[in-house]
Amino acid sequence: MISSNINTDIDFEVEINRLKKDMNAVILAHYYQESEIQDLADFVGDSLELARKAKSTDADVIVFAGVHFMAETAKILNPNKQVLLPDLEAGCSLADSCPAEIFKSFREKYPNHLAISYINCSADVKALSDIICTSSNAEKIINQIPKDKPILFSPDRNLGKYLMKKTGREMLLWDGSCIVHETFSERKIIDLKIKFPDAKIIAHPECEEAVLARADFIGSTTKLLKFVIEDNGKKYIVATESGILHQMEKAVPEKIFIAAPPENNCNCNECPYMKLNTLEKLYLCMKNKVPEIILPEDTIEKALKPIEKMLEMS
C-alpha cells in the first residue's frame, strides 16, 4: 500500500540512505535541486553528465532528483531498471513548448533537414529526432554535421540563436524558451555590474541574447561551475537557476556569488519544476517505489538512437 503519512520525527537523510542500500539504488541529482538533495545524492551534474551516469550505473533502481525529461532519458538508457522521480509534475517549460504532434508536422515540412533536439524535450520528441544534444555538447555536435546539411534545432530558440553565432551555421529554430532563463533582467544585471564592477557575469546559453551579450563567460551548468573554480576572479553575477550557487559556494567558499535578478520582484530565478522535489518526496518515492517512469517499448527504441548518437559524438 502507498503510504503518504509522514511521521515528523523521521530523519529523511538516515532513512533515504537506508532505503538506498536496501534497494541497491543510486540517487542522481541536477544542480538546480534544493541543496539538501544535492548533498545527499550519489552524483550531482549537468544534463549530459547525468545521462552518462544513468548509462553507466550498475544500481537496480535510479532515483532521479531532477525533472521529467531527465528521468525519461535515464529510463530510455536503462529500459530494464526501475526509474523513480519524486514528483511526476516536475516538468520543464521548454519540453512543454514542443508537443510531439506539432513537432512531427514541423519535421515533415522539412524532410531534408537534420533534426537536432536539445535534451530538454519529451521522449516522444526525442523519438522523432536525429540527434539529441545538451548545452555542453551542442556546439561540438553541430560542428560535426556536414556544412551543406540543413538543420532544424528545437526547442530552445535562445540556445539555438547562440549556437548559430558560435558555429556560423544557419538553423531553423523552434520557438521555445525556458521560463527561468528568459526572466533575467539585463537592466538589473547592468545595475549590479555598476555596484560590483569587479564581478564577472557568467550565463547559461538558455538566457536571452541581450543577457548573453553582457556575459564574460557562457556555458552549461558544469562549465559555469568549472569556470568559477579555475578563473582568477573573486566575484560573479550568475545568470542561471540559483541552485547552482550551492556547488559554487562549496567548491570555492572564498569567492562571492550573486544570483542574477529576475525582471520582477519574484523568485523566478528558481525553477518551479525542479523545486517540486523535496527531501520528503524523495523519501516517499523510495519507500513506495512510485512515481515510476514508464515508457512504451517502441518510444524507448526510437528515442535511444538519437541519445546514443549524442553520446558517441560528444
Instruction: Indicate whether 103 belongs to the interface with ligand SF4 (CB under 6 A).
Output: no
Residue 208 binds: one of ligand SF4, ligand 13P, none (C-beta under 5 to 8 A by kind): none
Instruction: Indicate whether 178 belongs to the interface with ligand SF4 (CB under 6 A).
Output: yes
Q: Considering the complex, state which of residue 69 and residue 236 has its C-beta at the smaller distance from ligand SF4.
A: 69
Least distance from ligand 13P to the Cβ atom of residue 134, Å: 5
| Site mask for ligand SF4 (CB under 6 A), range 51-90, x = bound | ----------------x-----------------------
Angle at 294 between CA 88 and CA 115, to 5 degrees: 90
Residue 220 binds: one of ligand SF4, ligand 13P, none (C-beta under 5 to 8 A by kind): ligand 13P
Q: Considering the complex, state which of residue 62 and residue 271 has its C-beta at the smaller distance from ligand SF4.
A: 271
Give the footprint of ligand 13P on this chain (CB under 6 A): 46-47, 92, 120, 134-136, 178, 204, 206, 220-221
Interface segment toward ligand SF4; rule CB under 6 A; list 18-26, 161-169, 212-220, 266-274 = 266-274
Which residues, in sequence order, are bridge partners of residue 239?
203
Least distance from ligand SF4 to the Cβ atom of residue 157, Å: 13
Residue 162 binds: one of ligand 13P, ligand SF4, none (C-beta under 5 to 8 A by kind): none
DSSP letter string, the chain: -------TT--HHHHHHHHHHHHTEEEEEETTS-HHHHHH-SEEE-HHHHHHHHHH---SEEEEES-HHHHHHHHHH-TTSEEE-S-TT---HHHHTS-HHHHHHHHHH-TTSEEEEESSS-HHHHHT-SEEE-TTTHHHHHTTS-TTS-EEEESBHHHHHHHHHHH----EE--B--TTGGGB-HHHHHHHHHH-TTPEEEE-TTS-HHHHTT-SEE--HHHHHHHHHHSS-SEEEEES-TTHHHHHHHH-TTSEEEEPPBSSSSSTTS-TTGGG--HHHHHHHHHHT-SB----HHHHHHHHHHHHHHHHH-
Residue 93 binds: one of ligand SF4, ligand 13P, none (C-beta under 5 to 8 A by kind): ligand SF4
Q: Considering the complex, state which of residue 183 and residue 221 has its C-beta at the smaller distance from ligand 13P.
A: 221
Which residues, in sequence order, are bridge partners of residue 76?
none
Instruction: Indicate whether 274 belongs to the interface with ligand SF4 (CB under 6 A).
Output: yes
Grid cell for residue 2: 502507498
Which residue in 29, 85, 92, 293 binds ligand SF4 (CB under 6 A)?
Answer: 92
Least distance from ligand SF4 to the Cβ atom of residue 177, Å: 9
Q: Considering the complex, state which of residue 48 and residue 192 has its C-beta at the smaller distance from ligand 13P.
A: 48
Q: Considering the complex, state which of residue 145 and residue 248 has its C-beta at the smaller distance from ligand SF4.
A: 248
Least distance from ligand SF4 to the Cβ atom of residue 214, Å: 20
Measured distance CA(75)–CA(83) in Å, rounded:
6
Least distance from ligand SF4 to the Cβ atom of residue 21, Å: 30
Phi, psi angles (nearest 5°) of residue 24: 50, 60
Tell me which residues touch ligand SF4 (CB under 6 A).
Answer: 32, 67, 92-94, 120, 178-180, 206, 241, 271, 273-274
